[in-house]
Amino acid sequence: MSIFVTKSFLPPKVEYQKYLDEVWESHWLTNNGPILQKLEAKLKDFLDYENFLYVSNGTIALQLAIKALELDGEIITTPYSYCATTTSILWENCKPVFADINEHDLNINPELVEGKITEKTQAIMATHVYGNPCDVQSLEKIGQKCNIPVIYDAAHAFGASLNGKSLLAYGDVSTCSFHATKVFHTVEGGSIMCRNKELFEKLKLYRSFGHVNDDYFTQGINGKNSEFHSAMGLANLPYLEQNIAKRKVVSERYDQLLNFNKLFKPYSKESGFEYNYAYYPVVFESDEVTIRVIENLKKNQIFPRRYFYPSLNKLSYVNSQDVCPISESVVNRVLSLPLYPDLAMEDVDRIIEIINQTI
């Protein structure tokens, strides 16, 4: 049987079915239905954050943030993230300016961010890479000093916490993905959170075409989600804690047996950080070693992922002049290893053995 980098968790079918029965009873399929409202309330409670919106996906959440903040200039961002981070900036007719990453956690480097700020800079958009926290304190200071918002792409960070509060609670605006591959998912989905109540009300309108009932207030877009996706979220949420615990066991096995003399694992220096074990990335000594590892794993029907690749400043449609040597090097040497709750320990050991023998 093939082993892929991830495997989506599914709750017991009967638990999902009970929510579907409610949908069939009400005939309310979308447009802020009762199941969505119930999920939104539970997620607000889980995150201890009131200004929270459940949306159709994590990319539209980023686009909504840019639109609602009325950004139309330069946004300083990371070259090391999924392409949606950069694409959302371009899609909203802004210009991404790339600041390179730290070597230890592969998150954006605040010192380089500050050096990139000009009169054209309108925001910072950083990613909590693999669910490890950015240097939120330093980025907050830069944002306040320069009077610009800090937006976090926290797509990987649901279930992670810093200093006793959700990692999603940091920043002027924070977005998340609930895609099927995430620690917590709603098949497709995402969220957006913000500190400012006025901005929150604006986002709420933007999410639903800019109108409430038959009263039109502003331009908007379809960022809504359905009762079916919300039902999956309600069925999945009770299993979050145990799934993180199972992912931790797999991760600790990798920690215990991989040959760290020949590879590197990104890590956070932040005290008070509780990880969600969203990914297990490793960085090898060279591109050649990485390719050999990929080939040997594939021969055994094991499929890791070069996550992330390429460095976003090198995307063909970006036309960036920014040079980001750390990101540009890491993308050629990184692999995310298989990690999901029911990954068998004998398969973990086989993955480790293949890697250690290859490197």
pLDDT digits (tens, 9 = 90+) for 234-277: 999 999 999 999 999 999 999 999 999 999 999 999 999 999 99
Q: Residue 90, class by beta-carbon neighbours within 10 Å (0-12 exposed, 13-18 middle, 19+ buried)?
A: middle
Distance of CA 287 to the CA centre of its chain: 25
The answer to whether 22 touches 33, Cβ cutoff 8 Å, is no
d(CA 130, CA 327): 14
Query: How confident is the model at residue 199, as a pLDDT?
Result: 98
**Strand 121-127 relative to strand 150-153, pairing:** parallel
For residue 237, the surrounding DSSP H or E stretch is none
The candidate with the shortest Cα–Cα distance to 207, out of 43, 29, 85, 32, is 32
What domains sit in the chain, N to C, each tagged with a CATH number? 13-237 (3.40.640.10), 239-358 (3.90.1150.10)
pLDDT digits (tens, 9 = 90+) for 111-157: 999 999 999 999 999 999 999 999 999 999 999 999 999 999 999 99
Which two tokens mark 162? 């810093």
- Do 338 and 304 meet the contact criterion of CB atoms below 8 Å apart? yes
pLDDT computed for residue 214 by the predictor: 83
pTM, entire model: 0.97
| Contact between residue 159 and residue 133 where contact means Cβ atoms under 8 Å apart | no
What is the rounded distance in angstroms from the CA atom of residue 288 to the CA atom of residue 177? 33
Q: Is the pLDDT of residue 213 over 90?
A: no
- Measured CA to CA, the distance from residue 164 to residue 289 in angstroms comes to 39
pLDDT band at 299 (very low <50, low <70, confident <90, very high): very high
User: How does the average pLDDT of the chain come out, rounded?
Assistant: 97
- What does R_g of the chain's alpha carbons equal in angstroms? 21
Confidence of residue 1 (pLDDT cuts 50, 70, 90): confident
Nearby residues of 128 by Cβ (< 8 Å), 6 or more positions away:
107, 134, 152, 153, 154, 156, 157, 160, 167
User: 141 or 211, which is more confident?
Assistant: 141
21 pLDDT higher than 90? yes
